[in-house]
Amino acid sequence: MKVSLFYRKYLLPGLVFQSIVIGGGYGTGREMIEFFMSKGPVTGYLGMLLTMVIWGLVMAVGFELARMERLYDYRTMLRSLLGKGWVLFEVVFVSTLILVIAVVGSASGEILHQMFGWPKFAGSGVMILAIALLVLKGTKWIESAFSSWSFFLYAVYIVIFFFALSAFGGRILENLRSGPPEFGAALKGGLQYAAYNLGVLPAMLFVARHFETRKEAVTAGLLCGPLAIIPAVLIYSVMLGAYPEVLNEPLPALFTIGPLGAFLSLVFQATLLGTFIETGTGLVHGFNERVAGVLNERNKALQPAGRLAIGLLILFTALVIGNAFGLISIIAKGYGYITWAFWIIFLIPLLTIGTIRIIKKT
């Protein structure tokens, strides 16, 4: 198999998944605090390990079901799983879409305010313009941008990790000895965190068009777990160097990296802005693909102007909410409710009904 073909079938889906979840999932580090570190340093690692396993298994089932039944947008997949009940997922997905973009929009404004002193709305505006451009360009541009930025992100996170070990590795090790793991808390955190991130699976089904066999779909799905969690583990480890002070910071990753030097902090902030753009783009594109699917059934096409208009409407709505409630409040309160909704409405049906269908076609 050619390298480019192997990459497109096996690695690209995981990189797209990582690109979508990182901005609203662990880019700022705030989510790492809420779901993992607040339960104890070692407990957090166990929770992330569980998250990785769940991500891989669910993505494998989702990709194979999508390949097998040609379900390339979330409307067709959820109609296949839930029948008329699919509209419940739409309510939760749109809520998540607005919530996550509110988080990344608020964080973008905060970062550019810290970097250049810009008004916070200006930083959010930069994010809107970048997302709008990618949404306008379509799937091929999005896949290319996501994969390229993912490699850059991996490089930056690895460099930061080793600088952090050199600067405060002793404190990281000391915090890891601070107490035994709590398996119940790790289970709860891992299940919650895995669920709300897996809500993006139906939004990224456009990558399933690359799969031709069950082996390709399942392997690509399983690889999503480690590809997406490795940067999270790296930044979590770095943040342990500032534990427990970091627990109350709105941008804990940036707070921890600041002492490593102005240049490294600047590079990280630029990288973080890129992840926010990826996350917003992936979610908006997923919604556009859902609209395009409806139009295709009516022998119509979603034009670029329509994609742009839908994207801008979602983005501005989300930013209004973000400015009204604030970053910490949104993450602490909003994500908790949505995670359990995804388990009930999407993940359990996928893992039961979807798995049974796959087995029957074995």
Q: Which positions ≥6 away from 183 have C-beta within 8 Å? A: 43, 46
Residue of higher predicted confidence among 68 and 342: 68
* Residues 144-154: tens digit of each pLDDT: 888 888 889 99
Round to the nearest angstrom and report the end-to-end CA distance of the chain.
24
The pLDDT value given to residue 238: 95
* Residues 181-225: tens digit of each pLDDT: 899 999 999 988 888 788 778 878 888 888 999 999 999 999 999
Is residue 211 classed as helix, strand or coil in its secondary structure? Answer: coil
The pLDDT value given to residue 222: 97
Rounded Cα distance between 96 and 166, Å, is 38
In a domain, residue 274? The reply is: yes
* Percent share of the chain, pLDDT over 90: 33
Specify the residue for token string 């089904």.
205
The pLDDT value given to residue 110: 76
In a domain, residue 239? The reply is: yes
Check whether the bond before 244 is cis (ω within 30° of 0): yes
In a domain, residue 6? The reply is: no
Is residue 249 classed as helix, strand or coil in its secondary structure? Answer: coil
In a domain, residue 97? The reply is: yes
Is the pLDDT reported for residue 171 higher than 90? yes
The pLDDT value given to residue 306: 86
Is the pLDDT reported for residue 344 higher than 80? yes
CATH code where residue 242 lies: 1.20.1730.10
Q: pLDDT category, 25, cuts 50, 70, 90?
A: low
* Residues 26-42: tens digit of each pLDDT: 778 888 998 999 999 99
Contact between 338 and 96 (Cβ < 8 Å): yes
Q: pLDDT category, 156, cuts 50, 70, 90?
A: very high
In a domain, residue 69? The reply is: yes
The total of structural domains in the chain comes to 1
In a domain, residue 4? The reply is: no
Question: Of the candidates 305, 9, 345, which has an alpha carbon nearest to the alpha carbon of residue 202?
Answer: 345
Is the pLDDT reported for residue 302 higher than 60? yes
In a domain, residue 1? The reply is: no
Average pLDDT, the chain: 85
Q: What is the mean pLDDT of residues 282-293?
A: 82
Q: pLDDT category, 65, cuts 50, 70, 90?
A: very high
pTM recorded for the entire structure: 0.85
* Residues 77-90: tens digit of each pLDDT: 888 888 888 888 88
Q: What is the mean pLDDT of residues 100-104?
A: 76
Q: What is the mean pLDDT of residues 331-337?
A: 59
- Which tokens go with 307? 């994609």
Q: For residue 240, what are the domain limits? A: 12-360
In a domain, residue 2? The reply is: no
- Which tokens go with 231? 């940067």
- How far is the CA of 256 from the CAs of 165, 170, 239, 250, in angstroms? 12, 15, 6, 12
